[in-house]
Structure 1
Amino acid sequence: MVARQKGRYSKYIRPINILFDLMVITILSLFFFQELKLNFSYYVVYQSFTWILIAIIVKYYEVFRFTTPVEIITKLVKQFSIFLLVVIAFFPFAKTAIFSGKAIAIFMTISFAIIVAFKYFMFFYLKKYRILTKNNFRNAVIIGYTPEAIRLKEVFDNRQDYGYRFQGYFSDKKQNPEVLGKIEDLKSFVIENRTDEIYCSLNEISNEKLKDLVDFADENGKTIKFIPDTKEIYSKNLKIDYYELFPVLSLQKTELHNPLIKGIKRAFDIVFSLLVITLLLSWLIPILAILIKLESKGPVFFKQGRPGLDEQEFFCYKFRSMQVNGFTEKEASKNDPRVTKMGKFMRKTSIDELPQFFNVLFGDMSVVGPRPHLWSQNKAYANRIKKYMVRHYVKPGVTGLAQVKGFRGEIETDDDMINRIKFDVFYIENWSIVMDIKIIIQTVVNIFKGEEKAY
């Protein structure tokens, strides 16, 4: 089972910008600083790391289709101003380095000029590309037929470079040829017509319907934004963007949606998985392979399709802990007759999960994240438990917050799954590198301490 591929070329724009910027400052530093007796191995790492850190702080790469040129210039000035101080700060700590204000000034000026030129080329080229080709447009609908909603529709029509294709209004209060139906008709229309974004006028919808709409957007991977009016809005997750002078509120994505954070987390995953594979699995696999084969016939590794990021299928690897059987979509239960003696030991200590670090290395999983469920569980609970599909917004993990909190193993009641989802969603919405480290440490502690539901 494989879900429909999602996304456009937009997802590649930020990585391309990041790689280009790092390439420019690296090449130019190697050229202009070659006579300053720097240890370039250390300097390039230092320079790249601080550039990315500054970018996160000043939100340098958060440039959208509606971002104004003035905002882009402001971000560039902030980025380079702090980066200049960081470059200068390196020299006092490099004993053999020779400080040269002239070399630094030339390096910064040329870097700034090249990066500004590239950034503006990308920004304006994409605007022209959308207008001329009509590609990379996002389909949008508006709930409500209010003066604010009409003004927003006019912005979509007049600013084609923003790249929005307006599909129509939905309203319970107004009747008009442009109103496609009532709010209750919205869900089926959005799915059937591949609508990307839902704009909601808050004075046209009740709190109950709004909550239901937010859940619908979460479960179907749609973006929901709010058109502000006189009502008070209480949400720390709301941010304001301006389409020209038109304000639009939207739910902020989590840190795990930030391309820079995703890059940092991916780098950590690669390093951590390589350490586990080289230091542990390199000698453990031959030993376990012999023990598994001695007890029962069948392969050493168990491979099973699981839903991953965006509900795309990947093959999850484990050490085989059961007799070969035809009930692989049935989860293990206590005293399960399919589990071998060696399998009981591996499951109790979670050793059977270790091959998933190959999944991490391949990019299908992360070290920490929501545990990958069976397809049968996805089918059973996707429509029964709210926010269940939110867990597919990120890569599944070898370990996760729900697991270290004791919600692992057999699902005996709906409450078991509800609690899993509660912790999975909390992890996604409140992620930090510190949380990841705590979860990894707690996982190791739990392995040695033993867990009641590890069977």
Structure 2
Amino acid sequence: MQNYYRSLKKFQYSTALPIFLMITDAFIIYSLIKVSIHYNWLTAVDYEPTILGLVTAFLILSWVISGLIASTYQVENLGTLEKIMYYSSNTSVLYAALLIGLKLSSILPGFSWLDLSLIFSSTVISVVLVRSFMLRLYRYYRKLPFNQKPCIVIGTNQSALNLFHYFQNTPTLTQRFKGFFDHEEPFLNELKPWYLGGLSEVQAFCLENGIKEIYYTKPNDRSYLNDLQDFAERHFIYLGIVPDLDSDEKRKIDAQLFDDGKIPVISFRNTPLRLIVNAQIKRLFDILFSGLVLIALSISVFPIIALAIKIDSPGPILFRQLRPGRNNRLFWCYKFRTMKVNNQVEVQASKNDTRITRFGAFLRKTSLDELPQFFNVLIGDMSVVGPRPNMQNQLLYYSKHIPEYPIRHTITPGITGYAQVSGFRGETKELYLMRKRVEYDLEYMQNWSLSLDIKIIWLTVLNMIKGEENAY
């Protein structure tokens, strides 16, 4: 086993969701005050706009501070309606105390006690209603077919039973439990209906039923685990080890897969993007970023590049090619055409390649030929940052010579990547060059964060300005 999920909590307590919730709360309070003043529900209608803005800021800040103290913005405190009600109640108590303090200190001189009561009650009710709606919307989203992860459990011991109960009693999980595999049928009657077969049948069942996750609960069998790990990595299946630990031992492992921390899971690889909250944050960033880029470029750079391509050589403006994406699913990858029309589309470009046009050389040097791939990002075939999608023949070749190569296809490919900004771009004549790319891709996957994506984007822009030495 190579890695524990030591940094999992860091990603569970994401900063993106709390910031989003704070902005939402601020908007709610601002809207409530504007509506109340418009309909003369408040006596503080004679405030100057600037003063009213400052007062509104005080009210928003008071609510946010109360929420931070009461832990209402932490991800694990938003999973049920009961938790939302409980932590919102705690926040409201602190908020009430701060409002009273602001009133007594004459910071809110134009607001009567009735005004503050109206603001307080409407804020608490509105926030709870919005949170509840968001929770229902999120649960609905998680139940959509593309979010479901069929999973199986290997073993029928106490750890397997605990995991089974967790799957059965937690409807908000994206995992959809299919059954158990073990050497023999389980002893407990509760588990017998879920018994699927022996260990030799696991791989065939996974392939036939599209299994996405395997949880191994049996005592360590190094030979079988190695074989299972190789199979899982080849077919993009998550493999987690669920150890049989007592409560004291569980507390020593800073690695829980599930929300309440009752089920410790040891992973062969640290993969933050396997968590749905991280994947959704990355996808939301991709949509916003690619949408803004496409709007900006469509009215500025794209028409100029298109005209230059048509003037430079006959042929289409765009070039498209089937590339293997996440889980090896093929998609059409778009680029500006940089070569003369030819029949060698599966041959990698090399230095002084005669197929490359004069303007195409400039596009490649500055990476401007990749800009149409923002359309791929917008529709979900690619991400802004991720492992670069190689050609199909490269996939077949490198999968045979680099054992870790298929792992890079467990996440969405990117326009740019950690390997590219680290100096590994361009032709890969030698096998070691692709090995280095894979190393950087895996390092990116194991250390993903939104800040890392932004850093890679910034380095890519700098490289575009300087010009890529290996881009040809």
For normalisation by structure 2, the TM-score amounts to: 0.67
Aligned residue among 234, 259, 262 for 2:277: 259
Give, in whole Å, the separation in 2 of the partners of 1:385 and 1:83.
58
- Could you tell me whether the CA contact under 8 Å between 2:158 and 2:244 is conserved in 1? no
| CA shift for structure 1 position 59 | 1.1
Amino acid paired to 1:352: D
- Could you tell me whether the CA contact under 8 Å between 1:156 and 1:166 is conserved in 2? no
Aligned residue among 299, 316, 326 for 2:333: 316
- Correspondence for 1:142: 153
Tell me which moved more, 249-258 or 413-422: 249-258
Aligned residue among 225, 229, 242 for 1:210: 225
Describe the shift of the 1:437–1:324 C-alpha distance in structure 2 as closer, same or farther (beyond 3 A).
same
- Could you tell me whether the CA contact under 8 Å between 1:256 and 1:262 is conserved in 2? no
Residues 1:339 and 2:365 aligned together: no
Aligned residue among 168, 171, 182 for 2:180: 168
Describe the shift of the 1:431–1:344 C-alpha distance in structure 2 as closer, same or farther (beyond 3 A).
same
- Correspondence for 1:189: 205
Please provide the CA RMSD for this pair: 5.1
Overall identity of the aligned pairs, in %: 33
Amino acid paired to 2:280: K
Give, in whole Å, the separation in 1 of the partners of 2:253 and 2:420.
28
| CA shift for structure 1 position 439 | 1.8
Q: 1:11-410 alignment to 2 at 5 Å? A: 30-31=31-32, 33-34=34-35, 35=37, 58-60=74-76, 63=79, 101-115=116-130, 118=133, 139-150=150-161, 152-153=163-164, 165-171=177-183, 183-206=199-222, 209-229=224-244, 238-239=255-256, 241=258, 247-249=263-265, 251=267, 253-254=271-272, 257-259=275-277, 262-263=280-281, 266-267=284-285, 270-271=288-289, 274-275=292-293, 278=296, 282-382=299-399, 384-410=401-427
Amino acid paired to 1:168: F
Give, in whole Å, the separation in 2 of the partners of 1:110 and 1:56.
15
- Correspondence for 1:421: 438
Give, in whole Å, the separation in 2 of the partners of 1:161 and 1:266.
21
- Correspondence for 2:455: 438
Tell me which moved more, 247-256 or 391-400: 247-256
Could you report, residue by residue, the CA deviation over 1:379-398 in whole angstroms, capped at 9, with x for unpaired residues? 33346534434434443322
Amino acid paired to 1:30: S
Larger Rg, first or second structure (1 or 2):
2
Give, in whole Å, the separation in 1 of the partners of 2:252 and 2:226.
13
Amino acid paired to 1:377: Q
Amino acid paired to 1:343: G
- Correspondence for 1:133: none
Give, in whole Å, the separation in 1 of the partners of 2:99 and 2:130.
17
Give, in whole Å, the separation in 2 of the partners of 1:250 and 1:375.
33
Tell me which moved more, 343-352 or 254-263: 254-263
Give, in whole Å, the separation in 2 of the partners of 1:397 and 1:200.
32
- Could you tell me whether the CA contact under 8 Å between 1:29 and 1:107 is conserved in 2? no
Q: Give the total of aligned pairs.
A: 414
Q: Unaligned 5+ residue runs, structure 1?
A: 1-17, 130-135
Amino acid paired to 1:109: V
Q: Unaligned 5+ residue runs, structure 2?
A: 1-18, 38-43
Amino acid paired to 2:463: N
| CA shift for structure 1 position 283 | 3.9
For normalisation by structure 1, the TM-score amounts to: 0.69
Describe the shift of the 1:193–1:358 C-alpha distance in structure 2 as closer, same or farther (beyond 3 A).
closer
- Could you tell me whether the CA contact under 8 Å between 1:197 and 1:224 is conserved in 2? yes
Give, in whole Å, the separation in 2 of the partners of 1:316 and 1:87.
56
Tell me which moved more, 319-328 or 375-384: 375-384
Amino acid paired to 1:141: I
Describe the shift of the 1:449–1:80 C-alpha distance in structure 2 as closer, same or farther (beyond 3 A).
farther
Give, in whole Å, the separation in 1 of the partners of 2:409 and 2:166.
33
Highest RCO, 1 vs 2 (Cα 8 Å, sep ≥ 6): 2
Could you report, residue by residue, the CA deviation over 1:278-330 in whole angstroms, capped at 9, with x for unpaired residues? 2x563433433343233321012212233334544433222211111122122
- Could you tell me whether the CA contact under 8 Å between 1:407 and 1:416 is conserved in 2? yes
Give, in whole Å, the separation in 2 of the partners of 1:375 and 1:223.
24
| CA shift for structure 1 position 262 | 3.2
- Correspondence for 1:10: none
Give, in whole Å, the separation in 2 of the partners of 1:388 and 1:370.
11
Give, in whole Å, the separation in 1 of the partners of 2:401 and 2:102.
56
Q: Secondary structure at the match of 1:203?
A: coil
- Correspondence for 1:15: none
Q: Secondary structure at the match of 1:336?
A: coil
Could you report, residue by residue, the CA deviation over 1:392-436 in whole angstroms, capped at 9, with x for unpaired residues? 444332221111112222222333222222212222221233322
